[in-house]
Amino acid sequence: MDVDARTIGLATFSRRFSLLLDLGMPLVQILTTIESDGPEPYASLAREIGAELLDGHPISESMLRRPDAFPPFYARLVRVGEIGGILDVALACLADMTEERWLACVSGPGGHGDWLWAPEHSTALGRFAELTATQQAFALMAFAWSLGVMLGAGVPCALALETAADLLPLAERNAIRLVAAGDLQHGLASPLESAGFLPRTLIESVRLADEPGSLDRVLERLADCYRHEYRCRLARC
């Protein structure tokens, strides 16, 4: 399957799953519904995942066993949704991210979000400093958006950082994981600054938000800023 078809299929699967879950439909019934009219290969996979769910396996576990269809970062964010009781929010967020990925693909060569689809241990993911300005805006949008949504839903900061790290190139992914493993009790701004690659606007915005307890909303606003920048740059490609 080509990247366009896979990305559109995953975005469609995610959006429908989120909608039906938000409307109160049970998980098994959702998967049966998607099986009947969802895009392939996700319609067939919905049937398999539904059968495994009946056997007691979490949806995220089933997705992790199918990395060709569900990238590792996707399955992890689904797991956070399961743990935090925000699966509908996580799926809506993932739908938005995969749609942004499709926009990047159709804009031409450049791989604006290729690390999202890379195998878990791939070393060919580049570094943040080596990305174009358009790619950097995409990475910052995905990172801030994911982190803000998870924090707003009550996901512990360390777990939210570890999950959001998967939306970055490999070197920066590891840097954020080190931040997540450190001391986060005195605010997030200084630990994030120590990662060494995040822009000053993001660091200072986080610093201002730490005390009032509005960090999730500030991160989502930052994500909007980077999304607008990304789309403006994309329009010039």
* Residue 109 forms part of a structural domain: no
Which of 70, 97, 124 is the last residue in one of the domains?
Answer: 97
Assess whether 136 and 84 both reside in one domain. Answer: no
User: Do 230 and 150 share a domain, yes or no?
Assistant: yes
- Domain assignment of residue 82, given as a range: 3-97
Q: What does the alpha-carbon distance between residue 66 and residue 84 come to, in Å, rounded to a whole number?
A: 23
Residue 98 to residue 49: CA distance in whole angstroms: 20
Q: What pLDDT score does 57 carry?
A: 95
Q: Residue 206 and residue 215: Cα distance in Å, rounded?
A: 6
Q: Are residues 127 and 56 in the same domain?
A: no
CATH number at residue 226: 1.20.81.30
Q: Exposed, middle or buried, 121 (CB in 10 Å: 0-12/13-18/19+)?
A: exposed
Residue 8 inside a domain? The answer is: yes
Tokens standing for residue 35: 């099986």
Shared-domain flag, residues 215 and 189: yes
pLDDT by position in tens, the chain (length 237): 555 677 788 889 999 999 999 999 999 999 999 999 988 899 999 999 999 999 999 999 999 999 889 988 788 889 888 887 889 888 888 888 777 766 655 444 444 455 555 555 554 456 888 888 888 888 898 899 889 988 888 888 998 898 888 778 888 989 999 999 999 988 899 999 999 999 999 999 999 986 656 899 999 999 999 988 988 877 765
Give ∠ CA 196-205-220 in degrees, rounded to 5.
100
Domain co-membership, 146 together with 180: yes
**What's the sign of the alpha-carbon dihedral 213, 215, 216, 218?**
positive
In this structure, are 13 and 52 located in the same domain?
A: yes
pLDDT of 109 reads 46
Look at the pTM and tell me if it is higher than 0.85.
no
Q: Residues 227, 123: one domain?
A: yes
Q: Name the domain count of the chain.
A: 2
92 lies in the same domain as 119: no
Same domain assignment for residues 179 and 215: yes
231 and 186, same structural domain?
A: yes
Asked, for residue 102, whether it belongs to a domain, the answer is no
138 and 50 co-located in one domain: no
69 contacts 59 by C-beta, under 8 angstroms: no
Residue 207: per-residue pLDDT: 92
Give yes or no: residues 71 and 176 share one domain. no
Establish if 104 belongs to a structural domain. Answer: no
Q: Considering only CA atoms, which of 86, 173, 76 is closest in space to residue 128?
A: 173
